[in-house]
Amino acid sequence: MKKIFLVLPLVFILTACSTAYSPANFDGGYSSTMLAKDNYIVNFRGNEATSSEKTRDLALLRAAEIAIDNGYPYFVVLNGGTREKSYTSQIAPGNIQTNVYGSYGYNVANTTYNNPVMMDFSQFKTELSIKAFSKENAPSNALEAVYIVNEMKKKYKIK
């Protein structure tokens, strides 16, 4: 039981930080693919501490940045969705302990088994298909890229 109390704080420390807004790596992040000069697929994958809302927002932030970087002030999300990947992981092993008491001729054995500690985790990944537009061609439902960037960076305190 003591092992559990030693392991749990370590697990919480390691998983307490949500995915940083950065290019994709082993811990998550964003990636994109250009399909045409104004069409892109944008992905953001979070770790176990990143909510589905945050993965959607950061995918939208990346979509807005891509539009701006390519000279488009507006964009429309053509299609998108967030998927959840759930799994259970063992964070502390089970153990068996046997204590033998007594002396020659008379012994008592006491065996204790502790179950392993299991935790459920979820990771979210958002994928957006976007089309970027110039000011002249932007439809009425287009999102203003600069506004999205400013709002998302403010919301998540991104510099």
Stronger pLDDT, 5 or 98, i.e. the higher one: 98
The mean per-residue pLDDT over the stretch 18-36 comes to 94
- For the chain, percent helix, then strand, then coil, each to nearest 5? 25, 45, 25
* Cross-sheet strand order for the sheet of 29-36: 29-36, 39-45, 117-133, 74-92, 143-144
Is pTM, for the whole model, over 0.85? no
The mean per-residue pLDDT over the stretch 118-142 comes to 97
Task: In whole angstroms, give the CA distance from residue 26 to residue 41.
Answer: 20
Stronger pLDDT, 129 or 7, i.e. the higher one: 129
The mean per-residue pLDDT over the stretch 114-126 comes to 93
Lowest-pLDDT range of 10-14, 28-32, 52-56, 58-62: 10-14
3-state secondary structure of 113: strand
Which candidate, 128, 105, 125, places its Cα nearest to that of 54? Answer: 125
DSSP assignment of 54-86: HHHHHHHHHHHHHHHHTT-SEEEEEEEEEEEEE
Element of type H or E holding 92: strand 74-92
Q: How many residues does the chain have?
A: 159
- Residue 28 pLDDT more than 60? yes
The mean per-residue pLDDT over the stretch 27-39 comes to 97
Q: Give the pLDDT score at 16.
A: 60
- Residue 31 pLDDT more than 60? yes
